[in-house]
Amino acid sequence: MKFLVDNQLPAALARWLAARELDACHVSDVGLEEASDQCIWNYAIAEGRVLVSKDEDFLHLAARSEVAAPLIWVRLGNCRKQALLAAFDALLLHLLTALAEGKKVVELR
């Protein structure tokens, strides 16, 4: 499974995922730090990546798109990086299982 972490989340999350042997990059790693949501969405689809974002706009794109990138929608509110990584650590297996089962949108709360 491959992941693309959006700008609203730290690049450290992509590194954290990669340290768990998951193929993960941050939008800044692929030159998309200034890109529109639509460009980021298209890149995730073209590269077969799960998009990881706090941005509700991607939820709307997923609902409107015939072809959609899977989305991990992070709904933790503003939190420190360590709290974010702890939430991913606690729920990573659940997230991966839900995505493997074909869920297109998985919320992280």
Res 22 pLDDT > 90: yes
What average pLDDT does range 23-37 have in this prediction?
98
Any alpha helices (H) in 8-80, and if so which ranges?
11-19, 37-47, 56-64
Q: Which residues make Cβ contacts (< 8 Å) with residue 35, sequence separation at least 6?
A: 27, 43
Would you tell me how many other CB atoms lie within 10 Å of the CB of residue 80? 9
H or E element, residue 85: helix 81-100
What is the tens place of the pLDDT at every residue in 39-79?
999 999 999 999 999 999 999 999 888 888 999 999 998 99
Domain coverage including residue 80: 2-107
Predicted local distance difference test score (pLDDT) of residue 67: 87
Query: What is the chain's mean pLDDT, rounded?
Result: 97
Res 80 pLDDT > 90: yes
Number of domains in the chain: 1
Res 17 pLDDT > 90: yes
Q: Which residues make Cβ contacts (< 8 Å) with residue 42, sequence separation at least 6?
A: none
